[in-house]
Amino acid sequence: MSRIAYVNGRYMRHDLAHVHVEDRGYQFSDGVYEVAAVYGGRVIDEEPHLDRLERSLRELRMDLPIPRNALKLVTREVLRRNRVRDGMVYLQVTRGAATRDHPFPEDAEGAVVLTARPVQWPETAAADRGAEVVSIPDGRWGRCDVKSVSLLPNVLAKQDAREQGAYEAWFIDPQGRVTEGSSTNAWIVDDAGRVVTRDLESNILGGITRQTVLRLAREAGIGVDERPFTLTEAQAAPEAFLTSTTSFVRAIVRIDGQPVGTGEPGPVTLRLRDLYLSYCRGGRTNR
């Protein structure tokens, strides 16, 4: 079956889908995006993803080109046409096509693209064998809270990680503190069993999975500390993990080649992974 994409009001074959050569997303990275997981036919955390999309658009002084409810209907149609029950849906909004010039065009119409594809998600927490991360200096722009399509530093960081045999790269700020991963949020577990992740005031992307895991942790009685932590602190922590839409909750067992804790996924990480998988399966109500 051919994959189907939605591009500016039309459903078309994925291999034939295209946007205008002067689309500002292509020429200026003048756009934002969202990626949501689909589990059992349900879009996980759909409302928070749309909330974040609209916030990113506001920061770029853009409006959502189509009503929010209509966007939900398009999402479901893209999933239906691609027969995706477990997978991911990608949504991108740009300022649209206009004659190339840096200032905002007065007459451009926003462009919307949606695609979907199947993914085999993990079934149990025990399936997590852990991942390795490497650290690199954080040289990104100062608005990491906006989910912009401008991802070149993230792409280079992820490539560096893969070339070193690691799953992810952690950005390190000038003070030696971990900011976040190239496509994930970073966490550690301290000696008291509390989960620690950098606060949003420190100008990181407010991960939707991060938001849900924080709530699940608090509801389960797991202590939470939203604050920066250093790379040295992470390397000495008993546990570390990362979160994202497509990684869910995943243990980190090595940082820059050094084992974290026992070098195996820890009990707090596995518990949170199990809670999150239960949430995705419908064990909790999306909100």
Least Cα distance to 81 among 5, 142, 183 occurs for: 5
Give the max Cα distance, the chain.
58
Evaluate the CA torsion angle 18, 23, 28, 33 in order and state its sign. negative
Q: In whole angstroms, how far apart are CA 221 and each of 15, 207, 237?
A: 48, 21, 20
Asked about 147 being catalytic, the answer comes back as yes
Least Cα distance to 258 among 236, 241, 242 occurs for: 236
Write down the catalytic residue from 24, 140, 147, 250.
147
- At position 4, the amino acid (one-letter code) is I
Q: Which two tokens stand for residue 275?
A: 């809670």
Please name the residue that has the structure tokens 């900011």: 179
> From CA 174, how far away is CA 282, in angstroms rounded?
41
Q: What is the CA radius of gyration of the chain?
A: 19
Q: Which residues are catalytic?
A: 147
